[in-house]
A and B are shown apart, each in its own frame.
Chain A
Amino acid sequence: MRTASSRSVTVAVGAVLGAGALLTAFPFLWMVFGSVKPRSESVADPPRLLPREPTVENYARLFGELDFGRYLGNTIAVVLISMAGVLLMAMAGYGFAKFRFRGRAALFFLVPATMMIPVQVTMIPAYLVLDGMRLTGTLIGIALPGLVSGFGVFLFRQFMTTVPTEMIEAARIDGAGEARIFWRIVLPLSRPIVAVQIVLAFIGSWNSFLWPLVIAGDERLYTLSVGLALLTRQIATSPSLQMAGSTLMVVPVLVVFIVFQRHIVRGFTLSGLK
């Protein structure tokens, strides 16, 4: 019931949120404007937000001399491979949610445990494992350690406990195989949470730094974040160039978020997070 006072409250809230949004996104705006400044302007004192002479030379350098086009390609490849991880996490979530099996409690206890250790401690063992599997120096090797996350399995399990068991039982009685039930019934019903996980997996693999650095034997396999780290020398690098690299890393993720926005909110809604 939209009364006049209710509408003015909405407008007021909108204004507050708008101001908050500008403040929140201000560093991001600084980054974007900084990326089109020539080097001499990036160290200007007093600082100015808008460039006086905007230039695309920084982006030209990124894609020309600095090979960021290749890094972009590698990053996209890693992201695509991570999508397989979403499937694996969905399967695990379904298994934990809808089946009773021996060891379920103990195994599910391990899931949050994996979120409780700092990532550096996993570096050497993970590298040795991948080396043993001959996966170092490959894109799959880069994507593998981050493919599955305890957080994701947890979310899937939460959601899938809300899938009506009767539908699954009915399908079993009809003679459908387990795989078919998963594919045809459970996954389609889980579309919202799958959308959420796809976006989370996208963000995680897009920004990942440690694994691409350590597992890529050759800079031909470097991803964007490693490429950006290459630009960070002690004193001599142009800040505008670094801003350009950073902007390049943020903008695609933002686009993905905007496109998938509605699904994400719906996904969390339906995942039983009330």
Chain B
Amino acid sequence: MKPSLAPYAFVAPALLLLLTFGVLPILVAVPVSLTDLNLAGLADWSRIGFVGLDNYRRLFADPGFWQALANTGIFALLGVPAVIVVSFVAALLLHRSENRFFRALRAFYFVPAVTAIVAVSLVWGYLYNTQFGLLNHLLSVAGLPPARWLGDPVLVKLSVVFVAVWRGTGLNIIIFLAALKAIPQEYLEAAELDGASGTRKIFSIVIPLLRFAFLFVAVTTVIGWLQFFDEPFVLTKGGPLGESTSMSLFLYQEGFSAGEFGYAGAGTLVLFLIIAGVTLPQVRARRTDADR
């Protein structure tokens, strides 16, 4: 019974795993990004050459990098608000009743979140197919021209974002729903007695009370969207001509698939710093919040 050692004992196993599989790779990426590590170098360490900041210079000079960065920004700006708003509204509606029908509906909204990405790509790839897909078939039935869902430079971003939003709302709906159910009934009844209308209630009472849930969902969603990979990878492989390539996908194609691990390391660090820079302030804010 050594109280001073106990916390370390509790924290150690998980932390060890997180450090090994989560932090170590970041630390490794730092020196690797200063070398020209490739497949040959991986096989024989003597074939690794030090190149200083060359990888970074190459990275910032690569138009593909900037395109991927811009795309990632667009994806996040479109997707994060969409996920937050849709999840919240759906949760509000689902909160309306606890009867069996409403509870069953939750499962339907949760399905996209648990579907493996391979399955998602098969189904959505089919729905979006320009020539033979269901969506364009419906458009043709309605007398409208087919849309190039995954082929048009602008539309492809929306199509890919839509699938990711479709997938991303499931868990967040559950989070908001739980937060809503935690609001004591008295608060809402008191507001009703004061004559507050439905919408007013939502904005003045519910949302402020859910401040924490919003922050949580926002942070995790932003982190997820800055690392956007699965949907563009399986639906478009980043095409057409890089219009739907995100930073993660760019790193994967230019770095890992091409065996250019030094280059990929540089890109990874840049991406990490961006994500950390964007989310750290929010994490700090929440930590002080919860510590009170």
Contacts and interface: CB of A to CB of B under 8 A. Distances in A.
A and B touch in the complex (CB under 8 A): yes
Interface of A: 9-10, 13-14, 16-18, 20-22, 24-25, 27-28, 30-31, 34, 43, 45-47, 85, 88-89, 91-92, 94-96, 99-101, 104, 107-108, 110-118, 120-126, 129, 144-145, 147-148, 150-151, 153, 158, 161, 177-178, 182, 203, 207, 209, 224-225, 228-229, 232, 239, 242-243, 245-247, 249-250, 253-254, 257-258, 261-262, 264-274
Contacts of B117: 207, 209
B10 A94 contact: yes
Given A153-B18, A273-B182, A113 B26 contact: yes
Contacts of B130: none
A46 B137 contact: yes
B29 interface: yes
A232 B122 CA distance: 10
A245 B123 CA distance: 12
Interface stretch (B57-65, B76-84, B103-111): B103-111
B66 interface: no
A18 to B, nearest CB: 7
A111 B251 CA distance: 23
Contact of A145 (B21, B23, B181): B21
Contact of B28 (A85, A125, A148): A125
Contact of B15 (A92, A99, A120): A92
A114 B114 CA distance: 22
A249 B119 contact: yes
Interface in B262-287: 264-265, 268, 271-272, 275-276, 279, 283, 287
The residue in B11, B96, B212 that gathers the most chain A C-beta atoms within 10 A of its C-beta is B11
Interface of B: 1, 3-4, 6-11, 13-15, 17-26, 28-29, 42, 90, 93-94, 96-97, 101-103, 105-120, 122-124, 126-127, 132-134, 137, 166, 174-175, 177-179, 181-183, 209-210, 212-213, 216, 220, 223, 227, 229, 248, 251-252, 255-256, 261, 264-265, 268, 271-272, 275-276, 279, 283, 287, 290-291
Contacts of B26: 113, 117, 121
The residue in B174, B210, B252 that gathers the most chain A C-beta atoms within 10 A of its C-beta is B174
B122 A246 contact: yes
A117 B93 contact: no
15 contacts: A14-B105, A27-B112, A28-B112, A28-B115, A28-B123, A91-B11, A92-B13, A110-B23, A112-B223, A120-B252, A120-B255, A242-B122, A249-B118, A254-B114, A273-B179
B26 to A, nearest CB: 6
B181 A24 contact: no
Contacts of A43: 132
Given A25-B108, A150-B22, A261-B103, A30 B178 contact: no
B213 A112 contact: no
B217 to A, nearest CB: 9
Given A89-B14, A91-B11, A228-B118, A112 B283 contact: yes
Nearest to B292: A161
Contacts of A108: 287
Nearest to B219: A112
Contact of A254 (B107, B133, B213): B107
Contact of A30 (B101, B126, B216, B283): B126
Contacts of A124: 25, 42, 261
B14 to A, nearest CB: 4
B122 A111 contact: no
A211 B14 CA distance: 18
A147 B124 CA distance: 30
The residue in B42, B114, B276 that gathers the most chain A C-beta atoms within 10 A of its C-beta is B114
Contacts of A243: 119, 122-123
A144 B1 contact: no
The residue in A89, A122, A242 that gathers the most chain B C-beta atoms within 10 A of its C-beta is A122
Contact of A207 (B10, B23, B116, B134): B116
A30 B123 contact: yes
A91 B8 CA distance: 10
A117 B272 contact: yes
Contacts of A268: 174-175, 177-179
B41 to A, nearest CB: 12
B58 to A, nearest CB: 18
Nearest to B134: A47
A258 B181 CA distance: 18
B251 A246 contact: no
Given A117-B272, A225-B116, A225-B118, A257 B134 contact: no
